[in-house]
Amino acid sequence: MLETFLEIHPEVQDAITNGQPIVALESTIISHGMPYPQNVETARQVEEIVRANGAIPATIAIINGKLKAGLSNEDIEYLGRKGTAVLKASRRDIPMIVSKGWTGATTVASTMIIAELAGIHVFATGGIGGVHREAETTMDISADLEELAMTNVAVVCAGAKSILDIGLTLEYLETKGVPVLGFGTEELPAFYTRKSGFGVDYRVDSADEIANILKAKWDLGLRGGVVIANPIPEKYAMDFITITRAIESALTEAKAKGIKGKDSTPFLLAKVKEITGGNSLESNIQLVFNNAKLGAQIAVELAKK
């Protein structure tokens, strides 16, 4: 039955069959992350970084109703050109998109789902979603957190996006039993910056150490993912005070305009980019490159276990 819905790229299927390391990559960064042709160029660069570090990339999307684990160059070009006209697909959207034969770019949550269906357990992205500010009244909590609680995929990211309530995001992950590991750090990075003021659960200093943790977790039958928080390289990190002020300004404007729910994150990220003169986009690209490299290194070590 699954074969009816899931289409695995031949290169990815060969890697699965032969026990080779594979890294899942999301597709919202292509359609919603940046303008064309930069989005396509970045997606291809990310795949090349995964390859250069010994793993096979599997960019994930839903194309014409098919769940795809691994995209062709034509698929990536198509998503890049269509841009925000492509639906952003989370868990709740998958049945509608598949049944209608539509196309959707996958978020963290839906990428995790499709990766696990294909047998891929390492996923590199930019940053995870989380608990939004004022969630105690709005109940605005990303589906990413629920997916991390139940889907066996490790997510390499630059922490939680700094537009979120990071403290509450960590509390939610703790409640759901999701380990938050800091790669070379005891402090959770906040996407554009290397610090947030909040600690991780455990510091880890090698891809091999991370692979051992993942194997132990899943061998014990403990369902759910692991957050591997990988700080943005110092060279590309933004000033903590500058980015904090930009976010506060963007949040104030969003509240005044009544922007909420799924529209809030793209609005806030666009405003931060505008306020910082575009520097945040370069930071975003570089942290994704950094996460792709670590994701590949982890996948290589996990494949040895």
Give dist(CA 62, CA 30) in Å, integer: 13
Answer whether the bond into residue 37 is a cis peptide, omega within 30°. yes
Cβ-proximal residues to 108 (8 Å cutoff; 6+ apart), any chain: 26, 123, 125, 128, 129, 142, 144, 147, 155
Q: Return phi, psi of residue 132, to 5°.
A: -75, 155
161 belongs to the catalytic site: yes
Cβ-proximal residues to 93 (8 Å cutoff; 6+ apart), any chain: 87, 104, 110
User: Which contiguous run of DSSP H or E holds residue 68?
Assistant: strand 66-69
26 belongs to the catalytic site: yes
Q: Is the separation of the CB atoms in 151 and 224 below 8 Å?
A: yes
Question: Exactly one of 161, 217, 271, 293 is catalytic; which is it?
Answer: 161
Which residues are part of the catalytic machinery? 26, 161
